[in-house]
Amino acid sequence: MTTANPENSTASHPSQCYCLNPDCQHPENPRDAVSCHSCGSELLLSDRYRAIHPLGQGGFGRTFRGVDESNPNHPDCAIKQFFPKHSSTTNQEKAAELFEQEAQRLKTLGHHSQIPQLLDYFSQDNRQYLVQEFIHGQNLAAELASVGPFSELKIRLLLRDLLPVLQFIHSHQVIHRDIKPENIIRRPGYGNLVLVDFGAAKFATETILERTGTVIGSAAYTAPEQVRGKAVFASDLYSLGVTCIHLLTQIPPFDLLDSHEDAWVWQDYLNGNRSISKPLAKILNTLLQRATKRRYQSAEAVLKDLNPSQRGSKVTQWLVASTVLIVGWAGIRYLVSPVTQQVSTRNPVVTNPIQEKSPTPSSTQTGGLFATINGQQQVFPLEHTQVATKITGNVSRVEVTQTFTNPFDHPLEAVYKFPLPDEAAVDDMEIQLDDRIIRGVIKKRQEAKQIYEKAKKAGKTAGLLEQERANVFTQSLANIKPGESIQVTIRYTDSLKFEGGDYEFAFPMVVAPRYTAGNSVGSAKAPTTNSVGSKHFSASSAKAPTTNKTLMTNVAYAAEVNPPIAPPGRSGHDIDVTVEIDAGVPISSVRSPSHPVTTQQTSSTVRVELADQETIPNKDLILRYQVAGADTQATVLTQADERGGHFATYLIPAIEYQQNEIVPKDVVFLVDTSGSQSGSPIVQSKELMRQFIQGLNPQDTFTIIDFANSTTQLSDKPLANTPQNRKKALNYINRLDANGGTELMNGIDTVLNFPAAPAGRLRSVVLLTDGLIGDDEQIIAEIRDRLKPGNRLYSFGVGSSTNRFLIERLAELGRGTAEVVPPNESAEVVAQEFFQEINNPVLTNIQVSWEGTGNAPEFYPQKVRDLFANQPLVVFGRKGDRTNGKLKISGTVAGGQPYETSLDVNFDEVRGNGAIAQLWGRARIKALMNQMYGRETPEVVEAVTDTALNYRLMSKYTSFVAVTEEIRVDSKDGKKVDVPVETPEGMDNQGTDTPSSGNTASVPEPDQIIGNLFTLLLLIVVFGIKPLKKVIIKIRS
């Protein structure tokens, strides 16, 4: 029996319930039936519990999945029914007595987070019942069947997770007696393991079983003494050992025991790729000893051998110290050296200038970080990310839970960089350890950092959430105890994008490596122009040689946004996403162009999940759907509190556009051909360009500029849209390849210095890039300050993991549109939708004003960009006095006709999502930050900080920090690791190779090399003589 659901029984059956009378011939009944239609038995236990369907059955009872109908939420529960087959009067009385004792013990054990909680116990109709917490998740037998044999690391983690549980139950004089993979459940999201099936039948019938000679437990996992009816604490350890070797080999336990020799031969079933270290093999063989006295006698003894004292750690520390000193000395000499030689590099793609190469993992490793400890590869620490999203209307509420586990025998600090949407209003963070939840508080960034560092130094567990960019965050988690799992939960609110009739929910999954140039950016000098097809360096890249100060600045940029990259192969970190959509109207065309998904749909709600719950987080999730009546909508959501009245306005104007009013365009295509585009992105970019060229209107003109370290252009002036020029353009596109650094500023300079468009033509810049650069804020500032008023910039994100912050902000400031194109998206469809949009700017010169009493609200955005076909106008506002009024929206329809509409804003009848105030706060922060890119000022920094603190929001200047009250570890033993991330799907290794600095690589001078060698020799002398003497003495003796 089990209190947890197997993998194939994850869903309850709301259409039926089950009769618990063992003699009932037809136990299935309608869900709301009061009594059984077949035998007449009551279907509610204790007037509250209803059995839904059976989970398992043994010789002494049955287990059912049920619900507690006394609770309005009808939570799931596990119902255990006991009825011994040998049911004499004496046995019945003894069973009832022992049942009461066992129930009391389970009540105590149920307070442990890794044991199902006892909810109730009672007798009804002469049968005993236990009701326990229902454990959602997958048992290890199902996990073994789905993922294959466990690695050494997973076995070590299993032992470290379960041995303390056995230690706990044994201290309460309880022996489990039935440890096996089916009775070990992993909670969803790679959470803690839960030991289930403490059924009272086993304990209550122990005397009965001894009399009848029946074996307690599952035969394949049962200890020899338990077969004889004399179970001891070590019997559970034996069963745990058998469980481990079955998980390691995926071979039935009986086949792993040589009955002729009475010896375990499990190691014979391990091939070279799944070899087990001698220390772990010794532990398992001791657990498997057939003689009880030769076996471990306690879980504590196993843990002691599993986490031995670090003998030989001095040698490891010596090697680490030597390496640090050598690298440090070389680095210092490099940075202070007044002169470096500059040599050209073929592909200067910067991904992570401070990253060390990680060892290559074996095929059976799991986890997030690969490291070598005492010669063995191990993994740390991010195991799983769980994303739960609720969409109401066009607003999403998202909860992101990251599970970190420390598999080492010393405390660790994990530092993990991860993405979130750039306009997400992040308003909550908490850490969960043991049974406690510690909620984060919002502080000024420097203050939060000081609180975190003080707690870390004191040995307290602490979490710190910082924002590096609008869409890049750093989660630091200090003092994770050895073997401990900690969950960090982050919550945010965001509004959905709507274009082309589709709502779009996007969740970024990986921080892709970003290029950081060796030269500073921001030069406004015009680039040189050479003949078609020849690469040339722009003026900005031909400046003075890189200085040490510039290099240090760029390293700092890289450290902010570039996490280390995990080695090739599956790291073990996976992600599970669930999205619940409640649109209030029928939903249709639910799909994801990025991931396989499953859907469950009712009339107005849809639940969407990733089809693979062990998805590798190496590309962004994009989910799209449509709702009835979305083509013309006008919605106002309001919220009022002590901070004032807040509202969000959502309007899609019902305007038709005449084809004969399309304005001729002068189109400049700006194409990223840097190394990060290598692989599938450049293939997709070229196909998009072909479709764009073919889709131009007859009156349009065009040219193409591609950029990497340098820029190349099809022509020095726009070309007429003739068959000859289109053929010339297609040939140019076919010759494009991807290599070099992402010097986007070179391309921007070229475009901004391009000759002005002729009168009557609309200059449209179309940018295709992944946006993976470190100086994105400087690029945004350049477009904000230098893009001419009559120009528009449209941006396309190409790749599986793009910098949406840069792509969308450039389009917003450039008065255009932005779209991220997933790798499998049809280029033809994308091009058609794009031209439909830009050919139809339905409303221009938009003005937002207020009609009503009191001061006008504070609107964001303050300057509304033009609207294109099927594009909504979204405005957030705050009115301090909370007085009602009307929002007036006016503009000019293409062709010169005026447009005007009014929307009621009523704070008395507050309705809509409760996060409207947070979205207004985030919109204000966004507007203020747009002012400061490239020119930070104390006044605006203070305004951003105050807004973030008042609305409990993450920002560049505020952070969340959470700290335990008690000291949990010795901080002197702690180690710090940076969690690596996956390489984005489709990105070639060229895009993630160890970088150079921009266009140059530095070669040390001869005096540097001599100095480094001298340092190495000195280290060998200082640290090597004494160990060498010990070795010589040992050999001589």
Q: Which residues contact 1005 (CB under 8 A, 6 or more apart)?
A: 337, 339, 340, 341
- Neighbouring CB atoms inside 10 A of 70's CB total 12
Do 336 and 302 share a domain, yes or no? no
How high is the pLDDT of residue 238?
Answer: 95
Do 333 and 289 share a domain, yes or no? no
Is 933 contained in some domain?
Answer: no
Distance of alpha carbon 790 from alpha carbon 781, whole angstroms = 18
Is 106 contained in some domain?
Answer: yes
Catalytic residue, chosen from 161, 178, 502, 866, is 178
| Nearest in space to 844 (alpha carbons), one of 888, 785, 889, 778 | 889
80 annotated binding-site participant: yes
pLDDT at 541 over 70: no
Distance of alpha carbon 7 from alpha carbon 185, whole angstroms = 10
Structure tokens belonging to residue 280: 């772990």
Mean pLDDT, the chain, as a whole number? Answer: 78
Pairing of strands 412-419, 975-978: parallel
What is the average per-residue pLDDT within 95-107?
A: 68
Judged by average pLDDT, the poorest of 196-210, 373-387, 675-689 is 196-210
Q: Which residues contact 821 (CB under 8 A, 6 or more apart)?
A: 684, 688, 796, 797, 798, 827, 830
| Contact between 877 and 647 (Cβ < 8 Å) | yes
pLDDT digits (tens, 9 = 90+) for 815-855: 899 999 988 888 888 988 888 777 767 788 889 999 988 88
Q: By three-state DSSP, how is residue 826 classified? A: coil
Structure tokens belonging to residue 800: 């599986």
Q: What is the CA radius of gyration of the chain?
A: 33
How high is the pLDDT of residue 190?
Answer: 56
How high is the pLDDT of residue 353?
Answer: 31
Pairing of strands 762-769, 719-720: unpaired
Judged by average pLDDT, the poorest of 32-41, 196-205, 560-569, 966-975 is 196-205
How high is the pLDDT of residue 261?
Answer: 78
Q: Tokens 């969960």 identify what position?
A: 432
pLDDT at 1036 over 90: no
Do 148 and 228 share a domain, yes or no? yes
pLDDT at 673 over 70: yes
pLDDT digits (tens, 9 = 90+) for 901-929: 999 999 886 654 568 999 999 999 999 99
What is the average per-residue pLDDT within 470-478?
A: 92
Split at pLDDT 50, 70, 90, the class of 805 is: very high
How high is the pLDDT of residue 44?
Answer: 92
Do 155 and 300 share a domain, yes or no? yes
How high is the pLDDT of residue 147?
Answer: 84
pLDDT digits (tens, 9 = 90+) for 311-331: 444 444 444 454 444 445 444
Percent of the chain with pLDDT over 70: 73
Residue that is last in its domain, among 106, 134, 162? 134
| Contact between 56 and 62 (Cβ < 8 Å) | yes
Q: Which residues contact 49 (CB under 8 A, 6 or more apart)?
A: 66, 67, 68, 69, 77, 79, 120, 129, 131
Helices and strands counted in the chain (H then E): 21, 49
pLDDT digits (tens, 9 = 90+) for 949-965: 999 999 999 999 999 98
Is 806 contained in some domain?
Answer: yes
Q: Which residues contact 513 (CB under 8 A, 6 or more apart)?
A: 350, 351, 352, 562, 565, 676, 772, 983, 991, 992
pLDDT digits (tens, 9 = 90+) for 863-900: 888 887 778 889 999 999 999 999 999 988 877 788 89
Amino acid at 398: V
How high is the pLDDT of residue 464?
Answer: 96
Higher-confidence residue: 668 or 353? 668
Is 644 contained in some domain?
Answer: no
Structure tokens belonging to residue 684: 């997709």
Residue 1020, CA distances (Å) to 108, 329, 667, 1031 in order: 58, 15, 64, 15
Do 790 and 682 share a domain, yes or no? yes
Higher-confidence residue: 12 or 754? 754
Is 451 contained in some domain?
Answer: no
Amino acid at 537: F
Residue that is last in its domain, among 134, 151, 184? 134
How high is the pLDDT of residue 520?
Answer: 35
- Neighbouring CB atoms inside 10 A of 367's CB total 25
Domain that includes residue 56, residue range: 1-20+30-134
Do 318 and 299 share a domain, yes or no? no
Do 758 and 774 share a domain, yes or no? yes
Q: Is 970 among the residues known to form the active site?
A: no
Split at pLDDT 50, 70, 90, the class of 931 is: very high
Do 151 and 225 share a domain, yes or no? yes
Is 286 contained in some domain?
Answer: yes
- Domain total for the chain? 4
Distance of alpha carbon 741 from alpha carbon 743, whole angstroms = 6
pLDDT at 1025 over 50: no
**Helix or strand holding residue 386 (H, E):** strand 382-392
What is the average per-residue pLDDT within 969-976?
A: 76
Do 73 and 125 share a domain, yes or no? yes
Judged by average pLDDT, the poorest of 527-531, 603-607, 715-719 is 527-531
Percent of the chain with pLDDT over 90: 37
Phi, psi (deg, nearest 5) at residue 386: -115, 125
Do 717 and 797 share a domain, yes or no? yes
How high is the pLDDT of residue 258?
Answer: 83
| Nearest in space to 801 (alpha carbons), one of 568, 531, 530, 617 | 617
Residue 769, CA distances (Å) to 674, 747, 766, 820 in order: 9, 11, 10, 10
Is 202 contained in some domain?
Answer: no
Q: Tokens 């909370």 identify what position?
A: 882
Domain of 169, CATH number, reads: 1.10.510.10
Do 720 and 738 share a domain, yes or no? yes
What distance separates the 2 farthest-apart alpha carbons in the chain?
104
How high is the pLDDT of residue 769?
Answer: 95
Is 392 contained in some domain?
Answer: no
Domain of 821, CATH number, reads: 3.40.50.410
How high is the pLDDT of residue 216?
Answer: 52
Residue that is last in its domain, among 134, 152, 173? 134
Helical ranges in 576-734 per DSSP H:
680-695, 723-734
| Nearest in space to 798 (alpha carbons), one of 952, 683, 655 | 683
Q: Tokens 């489709």 identify what position?
A: 986
| Nearest in space to 416 (alpha carbons), one of 982, 993, 981, 992 | 981
pLDDT digits (tens, 9 = 90+) for 726-745: 999 999 999 999 988 889 99
What is the value of pTM for the model shown?
0.60
Domain of 111, CATH number, reads: 3.30.200.20
CA angle 716, 665, 780 (to 5 degrees): 75
Do 107 and 232 share a domain, yes or no? no
pLDDT at 488 over 90: yes
pLDDT at 211 over 50: no
pLDDT digits (tens, 9 = 90+) for 266-289: 988 886 556 788 889 999 999 999
pLDDT at 245 over 60: yes
How high is the pLDDT of residue 563?
Answer: 65
Residue 628, CA atoms < 13 Å, CB-side half-sphere: 8
How high is the pLDDT of residue 98?
Answer: 60
Q: Tokens 């340092």 identify what position?
A: 1015
